[in-house]
Structure 1
């Protein structure tokens, strides 16, 4: 992708200009971002998908008694009739299940893949929505069917209503209001309050970008570093205190034990590759409901394409695929980085790979992480 070329998707802005002017800063409304856009999945197929195990789905209804939230899977008869207003079906991670949704997601690869979360689809009847709320992540709201009225604004009061099944703002104070039609798109930075109401039956795709919380990230990385820490001779290095005298204050933590704890943490952080490796493995790990089916190794003259569910990243010394890591250098590293960036390699690219790289790619195909692709 040429990040300096204007994109209709971004209203004529280049990806570079968009990231400089809007990303994490201010909203952007784009009319006709994707002309002639079509829903990634027809209504009947979407409802069928929401009934499958392993697909994350929710049903939000608003009635005289207030808000109601249910979690799937849903059989079709469990969904309200389309003639009933003010209900919404949310299907998370549509890109994991539908190739058209995965292809749509690829248009947003000017943002680092480490930040990409998923594509959620919202199918609503007239008046449907999830209430005024805010997200802690960046989101592109793409209208793919029907019309939806969006009200939004930067709001300081982020208190939520108590006793609600949804995170609905106590006092919503919108600053702007627009009706989006098929092909229109609205970008909102984190913590911009917004409320979308369907005007007739409609479908909206939400392309979300995750923002790990600092505490969550620290816990995950420290756990991974601790699991990888080398102990003496493969055995756990236990605290020993043969010189510990008798004490008259047993409640006091011994200084030697405090030092042992500090040394354990320092040891876990001592490996210069440890933290980058742990971070890459964490960021590339698939969601819990993702599974792979064995694939086919490319034949001679064929290329290779990553499975749509595969997450592949890299840093200066490693490549990461679905929560695992490999050291990479030289020509093979450049090849792997290209695969991570473009998500496919042509037959000519594969022909230049070393035997070790071809064996590794073949193993990924057998695991279902990648597939052979005919020219």
Structure 2
């Protein structure tokens, strides 16, 4: 899909993580990428994360999927909303919806959640901890926006839904197919379907918390440490008060921790892997028949197109040596020479051309990625 009237630079300068923006149908030609029945079918599958939110007599109820197909015939007339996560991992036409938003770094992209709602349906007033582009795909939805919420925002007492107790709308817009609403983190918002067959595509972004970063990094660092790497004080002198922890001891202990936690190269490798870990790592995309290097070399005797798995995550980091650290689905690969250019293209493009001139290290890397299920050859070639 292609946009014709959206200034990326102006958006980043004036709106990104600053204030909401309504973008009236900027598409060259908008068409809804997924039918409601197809979305319902995904919600019935065990490997797909889905939720059903119903509202009856001011009572919100949430049911987690997978949903039985018969569930939809028993919903009655009360407003309801179906939410399906990471639809871009399963439907190429929905994955294509991410392309116009690639001016945001790939490692920040989370997924495309798709919602379907009947008249009056929604998930209630809430706020998110991340940026989101709300693309209206089908039907109409009224969006109400409120204030930016702080950590002390009062929530309704609900076990499953984080709904605001005191939501006051300060702006509202009616979105029609192709319209987009950008909502920054922590801005209160409430979407209400106007009429049936309302579909919204939520392009969400990731924002790791400081707690998540420190916890995961500490676990990764600790896994590589030797238990006999211990505190020592060969130059210890007698203290006036044995109950004191001396400044020298504090400095030494802090240094032991900081030396490992603040190792930039180790942090870079860890974060590259951390940020590309798949959203659903328990799902295997590996091919039934593994590839051997010779198999790949035979395929590349003629130019071929390599396609990235929409469920996979790719990123790279430039190294001072001129090489590149490529991260794919949580695994890191050191790339040098001709493989450097290949790694950069693979991290930035959905489709990469490869031919018989590919170096041996590049062919070996492709073989590994094929067997991970991170890439595949275009079968139409």
TM class by shorter chain equals 0.7 to 0.9
CA RMSD after TM alignment: 3.0
Answering whether residue 64 of structure 2 is matched by residue 59 of structure 1, we say no
Q: Secondary structure at the match of 1:53?
A: coil
Q: Distance in 2 between matches of 1:37 and 1:159?
A: 37
Mapped to 2, the partners of 1:156 and 1:309 lie a distance apart of 32
Structure 1 residue aligned with 2:168, among 170, 173, 176?
173
- Rounded to whole Å, the distance in 1 between the matches of 2:13 and 2:336 is 32
**Match of residue 122, structure 2, among 115, 119, 129:** 129
1:82-231 equivalence runs, <5 A: 84-156=77-149, 159-164=153-158, 165-201=160-196, 202-229=198-225, 231=226
Q: Is the 8 A contact 2:128 2:187 kept in 1?
A: yes
Matched, 1:339 2:346: yes
CA distance in 1, matches of 2:228, 2:312: 34
Alignment check: 8 A CA contact 1:160 1:167 kept: no
Structure 1 residues 267 and 88, CA gap change in structure 2 (3 angstroms):
same
- Indicate if the aligned counterparts of 1:7 and 1:14 stay in contact, CA closer than 8 A: no
Q: CA deviation at 1:160?
A: 2.9
* Aligned equivalents of 1:43, 1:63: Cα separation in 2: 22
> What is the CA distance between 1:352 and its match in structure 2?
4.1
Structure 1 residues without counterparts, runs of 5 or longer: none
Deviating more after overlay: 69-78 vs 115-124: 69-78
Q: C-alpha separation between the residues in 2 aligned to 1:79 and 1:236?
A: 60
Which segment is superposed worse, 113-122 or 266-275?
266-275
- Give the total of aligned pairs: 362
Could you say what secondary structure the match of 1:357 adopts? helix
Shift of 1:313: 0.2
Query: CA 1:270–1:197 in structure 2 vs 1: closer, same or farther (change >3 Å)?
Result: closer
| Structure 1 residue 242: Cα displacement | 11
Q: Using the alignment, how far apart are the partners of 1:359 and 1:152 within structure 2?
A: 51
Q: 2:257 aligns with which of 251, 265, 269?
A: 265
Report deviation, 1:264. 4.1
Deviates more, 1:290-299 or 1:220-229: 290-299
Contact 1:48/1:75 (CA < 8 Å) preserved in 2?
no
Q: TM-score, normalised by structure 1?
A: 0.86
Equivalent in the alignment of 1:49: 42
| Residues 139 and 195 in structure 2, CA contact (< 8 A), matched pair in contact too | yes
**Alpha-carbon distance in structure 2 between the residues aligned to 1:59 and 1:291:** 26
Q: Return the alpha-carbon distance in structure 2 between the equivalents of residues 20 and 270 of structure 1.
A: 31
Q: Give the CA deviation at 1:39.
A: 3.5
Instruction: Kindly state the Cα deviation for residue 371 of structure 1 after the two structures are TM-superposed.
Output: 0.8
Q: 2:318 aligns to what SS in structure 1?
A: coil
Per-residue deviation, residues 37-59 of structure 1 (Å, max 9, x unmatched):
33333222211211111211111
**Structure 1 position 78, deviation (Å):** 2.1
Deviations 1:112-140 (A, max 9, x none): 01110000011111100011111111100
Match of 2:267 in 1: 275
Pick closer, same or farther for the CA change 1:177–1:255 going to 2, 3 Å: closer
Cα distance between partner residues in 1 of 2:58 and 2:10: 46
State the TM-score, normalizing by the size of structure 2.
0.85
* Equivalent residue for 1:314, pick from 305, 313, 316: 316
